[in-house]
Amino acid sequence: MSSQTASSEYRLELRGIRKVYPAVVANDGIDLAVAPGEIHAVVGENGAGKSTLMKIIDGMVRPDAGEMLWNGREVTIASPADAQRLGIGMVFQHFALFDTLTVAENIALAMPNKPRLDALSRDISLVAARYGLPVDPGRHIYTMSVGERQRVEIIRALLQNPQLLILDEPTSVLTPQAVETLFVTLRQIADDGCSILYISHKLNEIQALCHRATILRGGRVTGTCDPRLESPASMARMMTGSDLPAYRERSAVDEAGRIRLSVSGLDLSTDDPFGTTLRDISLAVRGGEILGIAGVSGNGQAELLAALSGETQLSTREAITLDGQPIGNLDPFVRRSLGLCSVPEDRLKQGSVPSLALSDNALLTANRRGSVQLGLIRFDRVTAFAERCIKAFDVRCGSPRAAAGSLSGGNLQKFIIGREILQDPSVLIVSQPTWGVDVGAAMVIRQALLDLRDKGAAIVVISEELDELFEIADRIAVIAGGRLSQAVPRDAANRDDIGIAMAGDAGRQETAHAH
């Protein structure tokens, strides 16, 4: 059989794709083949080369070597417009939608011509009905839940009649129920002949959904497999080259200590027209416990983190107490001096300054560890602290002088988490600690949180990852519509009930629309 005939069996085939940047070989001779109607996973650690490879397929990056075949014919994809003309659609992890526009108006912006909105609305409704993606073309984006917004992104891609659909971390902001609904849709899309490239760190989802998986490590393919015949542990071994360690359990289960962080009746309005007002928030976290707060993005998590960290200062001191001391009107610097550290959700915009070296980023928050004396910076101590963080948290980088923005997402996240934990806080507030982080890095981060808890710290973990909360939290509460539920012990928590509570009113509306 000739190579031309063999290639025609595949919708997309990559041969020897190589991409080199000044500091790293991102893709090193990668081969990948995707058949029509196949759901094909691409998995690997942070920095393994997945993002670069997807950008090459979508025309955002030009490879230095290798060839790409589309339906058996060699092609050059010089831009996303080229990819779209071929029939390649991509749904990014972070949605690109304008809140003040309607569904139809947002989709019209991505269409090659200027369609009439009434005709486009009919097309949207037809695609929505065909694939079980209920969406009202006339609704404004700001009124929609995260799950509904994702439907808009998928419909926008499907309206371009793709032969290949690339999905980047598609379930990172969805409730368990929404994930199940999405999988039904993806299987139907694949049954109609569209190929799907599925990028995810969630190995259990890949096992449940995908027909084949290509595993990357260090920019190279380490193997392909049928995930349905593998376990998450065996796929993780292919990704990392070794078995993942088990979590270290605390040596003795002690009673949680005294209340270290307390919030009572917190009401907080927002000036952001798309923000969420907090209403009657109350919580108490004891030393030696982790309180997990579950919720779908946009339900008040950002506002709660800002209030707890001091980024938003309250008019009254008493609404928040730290070890019995009122701190509601204190700024982040003073709260840190009292023992409260925090990790924001956005590691690039809030957690670090990407253009600065890691050592300079360490100085941003860890400046009370002897690194500043009499107003002068002790750069030797700053560097030593950064080196300690890099070593303790297995941060893969050139040196403490490496720019924060040069690290992969997972390695930067490990550095930011390490920077806060190594300050030995009595209270730590963390938002989305393993967002977009590979399975190995996630275990390092979660183990560090467990170790800090076992030293007596009180920890609040705000996360959309239910699996994460069920792994490390001692109690779990749900935030929806700016209100916080009563926390329940993890062993008494029901995953389905929490998923429904996470969706809140929006979830009930979605269910009503679906039926």
* pLDDT tens profile 183-215: 999 999 999 999 999 998 889 899 999 999 999
If you ran DSSP here, which 8-state letter would residue 395 be given?
A: -
Q: Residue 131: its pLDDT value, please?
A: 85
Question: Is the separation of the CB atoms in 14 and 66 below 8 Å?
Answer: yes
| CB-CB contact of 292 with 469 (8 Å) | yes
pLDDT at 3 over 50: no
Least confident of 38-42, 241-245, 264-268, 281-285: 241-245
pLDDT per position as a tens digit, 344-367:
988 888 899 999 999 999 999 988
Distance CA 501, CA 176 (A): 11
pLDDT per residue as tens digits for the range 156-183 = 988 988 999 999 888 876 778 878 888 9
Phi, psi of 288 (to 5 degrees): 85, 20
124-149 pLDDT, tens digit per residue, is 999 988 888 888 999 999 888 777 88
CA–CA separation, 482 vs 469, rounded Å?
Answer: 20
Domains, the chain, ranges and CATH?
A: 3-240 (3.40.50.300), 259-356+423-514 (3.40.50.300)
pLDDT of residue 515: 41
Q: Across the chain, what does the average pLDDT equal?
A: 88
State in Å, rounded, how far the first CA of the chain is from the last one.
50
- Side chain identity, residue 465: E
Mean pLDDT (whole number) for 245-263: 74
